[in-house]
């Protein structure tokens, strides 16, 4: 049976993919690179900021020195912070779902977002205390779809009490996240917040959001 839930962050807790897209577009424009909304959601969703910038410059055939990369990352983070200060929304139902989930499961969070972004949103939402483990972009050397983040989260939880990968359920919104979860040997519940439900056929369960769902629905996902 399921013992732990491992949440993604962007598009799963924070309904902020549009803010991320706008922040990325703004810093790419400095380098004369444009990115359509369709390109973002099909090719960049689920990538961390560093990987997204490097990939965009590579595809454009533009050089990207390390010093410039770090400057752009810092600027992208500032823009994102400004956008969520102005307008921050949570995924529908998550503010009720997380506390109820914490009563039954051990909770972790695995994201390509920066730690200070995650901590800021969780603190504002009153959800920080429910997560036993948080792994951010700074903590994992390889981004999704590599399973490193989910494997590291399981290992961190297991140091306190034994936990098998098959006893973990990941909650994701991106196809890269789905791939990472399955590569880690975990089941995956997908939210259709960033992709149409028909595009998520590889998931073990698909929800439109957390609204109307109870965490105990995820209890049997690891069976069989």
Query: Domains along the chain?
Result: 4-15+89-222 (3.40.50.1000), 17-86 (1.10.150.240)
Please state the pTM of the whole predicted model. Answer: 0.89
Per-residue pLDDT, 21: 93
pLDDT bucket at 224, cuts 50 / 70 / 90: very low
- The token pair at 42 is 């099909």
Each residue's pLDDT tens digit, 100-131: 999 999 999 999 998 998 999 999 999 999 99
Place of tokens 């595009």: 199
What would the mean pLDDT of 144-153 be, rounded to a whole number?
96
Write the pLDDT tens digit of every residue in 169-206. 999 999 999 999 999 999 999 999 888 999 998 999 99
**Inter-residue contact 49 to 72 (CB < 8 Å):** no
CA 104-105-111 angle, 5° bins: 145
β 168-172/4-7 pair status? parallel
Q: What is the pLDDT of residue 166?
A: 95
């Amino acid at each position: 049976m399921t013992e732990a839930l491992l949440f993604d962050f962007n598009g799963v807790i924070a309904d902020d993919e549009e803010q991320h897209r706008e922040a990325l577009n703004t810093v790419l424009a400095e380098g004369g690179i444009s990115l359509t909304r369709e390109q973002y959601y099909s090719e960049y969703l689920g990538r961390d900021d560093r990987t997204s910038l490097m990939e965009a410059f590579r595809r454009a055939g533009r050089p990207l020195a390390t010093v410039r990369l770090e400057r752009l990352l810092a600027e992208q983070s500032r823009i994102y912070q400004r956008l969520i200060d102005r307008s921050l929304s949570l995924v529908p139902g998550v503010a009720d779902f997380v506390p109820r989930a914490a009563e039954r499961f051990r909770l972790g969070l695995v994201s390509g977002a920066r730690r200070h972004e995650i901590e800021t949103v969780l603190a504002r939402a009153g959800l920080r205390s429910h997560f036993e483990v948080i792994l951010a972009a700074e903590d994992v050397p390889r981004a999704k779809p590599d399973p490193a983040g989910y494997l590291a989260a399981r290992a961190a939880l297991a140091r306190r009490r034994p936990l098998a990968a098959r006893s973990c359920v990941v909650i994701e919104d991106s196809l890269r996240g789905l791939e990472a979860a399955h590569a880690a040997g975990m089941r995956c519940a997908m939210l259709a917040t960033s992709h149409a439900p028909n595009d998520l056929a590889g998931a073990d369960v698909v929800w439109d959001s957390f609204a109307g769902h109870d965490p105990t629905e995820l209890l049997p996902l690891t069976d069989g």
